C-alpha cells in the first residue's frame, strides 16, 4: 500500500477525520484547539482556531458541522462562532467530551470522560473511570450504560445498520451492540476485541463490515473482520495513530490522523495526517441530520 503525508501541518492530537466528498478531509486537533480542512490531492490545509477543545466533528449537509467540544456539542460554521450547544458532561468541570460521531440516521453520539488535561493543557492523571455514552436526538439527550468509561474511543455502525461498535482505550476493549436504526437504541453488549497491540483509538468501517482501528502507541492500523479476527495490519511512520476514515471518489483511500502531544522526542511525521491507497471500498461517515441529497 502506498502512503502519503497530507500537508506539512502537524497536530498535537489529530482526530475525527471526515471526507466531504468534494475533495477535502476535515478533522480536529484537540489540544491545538483547531479545526482543519486538508485537500486530498495535495495536502493544502486551511485551519480555524477554536476557544474550547474540539474533540470530534460531523459535517452537516447545509454547511458547517456538529462539533463535540470539551464542554458540549455545538453547531459550528467556518464563518461564525459556534451556536450555543448541549452541555452533556453534567456541568462537572472535571469532565469533558471525547469521542463523537453520527449514526446512519444523522443522530449525534458522544461520550464523556474525566478530563486528562489540565487548564494549561498539560497531561493530567485521571482519578476514576466515570465517563458515559450519550445519544443526541433533536432536543433529547439519552444516556446508555453505566458511568464507567475511561477514555472512550471508536464509534462505528455496520453497513446493514444492525451493529454498533464502541471502545474504551483504558480498558483496551472494543464492544459491539445490537443497533436499531429506527429508534437509535442499542442493547446486548458483548466484547468484540480486547487487548493489544497498543490501545484502540478511533475506527472506521468498510463496505465489507470490517473495522479499521488506529492502535495508539503501536504505530498501526488493524482491520478486524466482523467476527473479530485480525485481517491485516498496516504499519505507520507514527507512534500514536488516533483515528481513521475512508476518502476519495471511490472511497479506497484510508485516512489516518495521529498525535505528537506528550511525546518526548516526536519524529517529523508524528502528528501528521496520512493517506494510504488500499484495495477495499470504505463506508462513508454519517452526516449530522442525515446524508446530503444528490444535486
Specify the pTM.
0.96
Residue recorded with cell 453497513: 159
Confidence band of 118 (pLDDT split at 50, 70, 90): confident
Q: How many angstroms separate the CA atoms of 57 and 15, rounded?
A: 9
Maximum Cα–Cα distance across the chain: 51
pLDDT at residue 159 tops 80: yes
User: Domain locations in the chain?
Assistant: 3-277
Average pLDDT over residues 170-187: 98
CB 219 within 8 A of CB 236: yes
Q: How far is CA 244 from CA 9, 25, 125, 182, 291, in A?
A: 18, 11, 26, 26, 19
Question: Cβ of 11: how many Cβ atoms within 10 Å?
Answer: 24
Contacts for 47 with CB less than 8 Å, ≥ 6 apart: 9, 34, 35, 36, 37
Confidence band of 87 (pLDDT split at 50, 70, 90): confident
Grid cell digits, residue 95: 469532565
User: Regarding predicted confidence, which is higher, 81 or 189?
Assistant: 189
Predicted local distance difference test score (pLDDT) of residue 84? 76
Q: How many angstroms separate the CA atoms of 194 and 172, rounded?
A: 6
CB 102 within 8 A of CB 287: yes
Q: How many angstroms separate the CA atoms of 240 and 217, rounded?
A: 5
Question: Cβ of 45: how many Cβ atoms within 10 Å?
Answer: 18
Q: At CA 272, angle to CA 266 and CA 277, rounded to 5? A: 130
Q: At CA 146, angle to CA 27 and CA 198, rounded to 5? A: 50
Predicted local distance difference test score (pLDDT) of residue 65? 97
Helix, coil or strand: residue 5: strand
Contacts for 200 with CB less than 8 Å, ≥ 6 apart: 153, 154, 167, 168, 169, 172, 173, 174, 193, 213, 214, 215, 216
Predicted local distance difference test score (pLDDT) of residue 83? 81
Q: How many angstroms separate the CA atoms of 217 and 6, rounded?
A: 21
3-277: which CATH number, 3.90.1170.50, 3.30.470.20, 3.50.40.10, 2.120.10.30?
Answer: 2.120.10.30
Predicted local distance difference test score (pLDDT) of residue 294? 63
pLDDT at residue 86 tops 90: no
Grid cell digits, residue 211: 473495522
Amino acid at each position: 500500500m502506498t502512503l502519503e503525508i497530507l500537508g506539512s501541518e502537524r497536530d498535537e492530537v489529530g482526530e475525527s477525520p471526515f471526507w466531504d466528498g468534494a475533495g477535502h478531509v476535515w478533522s480536529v486537533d484537540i489540544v491545538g484547539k483547531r479545526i482543519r480542512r486538508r485537500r486530498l490531492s495535495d495536502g493544502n490545509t486551511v485551519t480555524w482556531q477554536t476557544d474550547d477543545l474540539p474533540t470530534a466533528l460531523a459535517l452537516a449537509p447545509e454547511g458547517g458541522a456538529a462539533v463535540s467540544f470539551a464542554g458540549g456539542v455545538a453547531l459550528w460554521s467556518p464563518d461564525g462562532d459556534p451556536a450555543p450547544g448541549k452541555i452533556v458532561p453534567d456541568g462537572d468541570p472535571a469532565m469533558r467530551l471525547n469521542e463523537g460521531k453520527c449514526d446512519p440516521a444523522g443522530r449525534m453520539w458522544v461520550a464523556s470522560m474525566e478530563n486528562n488535561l489540565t487548564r494549561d493543557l498539560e497531561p493530567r492523571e485521571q482519578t476514576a473511570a466515570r465517563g458515559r455514552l450519550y445519544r443526541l436526538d433533536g432536543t433529547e439527550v439519552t444516556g446508555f450504560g453505566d458511568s464507567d468509561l475511561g477514555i472512550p474511543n471508536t464509534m462505528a455502525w455496520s453497513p446493514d445498520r444492525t451493529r454498533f461498535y464502541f471502545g474504551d482505550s483504558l480498558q483496551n476493549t472494543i464492544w459491539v451492540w445490537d443497533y436499531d436504526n429506527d429508534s437509535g437504541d442499542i442493547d446486548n453488549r458483548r466484547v468484540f476485541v480486547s487487548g493489544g497491540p497498543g490501545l484502540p483509538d478511533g475506527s472506521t468501517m468498510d463496505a465489507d463490515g470490517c473495522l479499521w482501528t488506529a492502535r495508539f502507541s503501536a504505530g498501526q492500523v488493524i482491520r478486524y473482520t466482523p467476527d473479530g479476527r485480525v485481517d491485516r495490519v498496516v504499519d505507520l511512520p507514527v507512534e500514536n495513530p488516533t483515528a481513521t476514515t475512508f476518502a476519495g471518489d471511490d472511497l479506497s483511500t484510508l485516512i489516518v490522523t495521529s498525535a505528537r502531544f506528550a511525546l518526548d522526542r516526536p519524529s517529523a511525521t508524528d502528528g501528521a495526517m496520512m493517506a494510504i491507497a488500499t484495495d477495499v471500498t470504505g463506508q462513508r461517515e454519517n452526516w449530522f441530520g442525515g446524508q446530503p441529497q444528490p444535486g
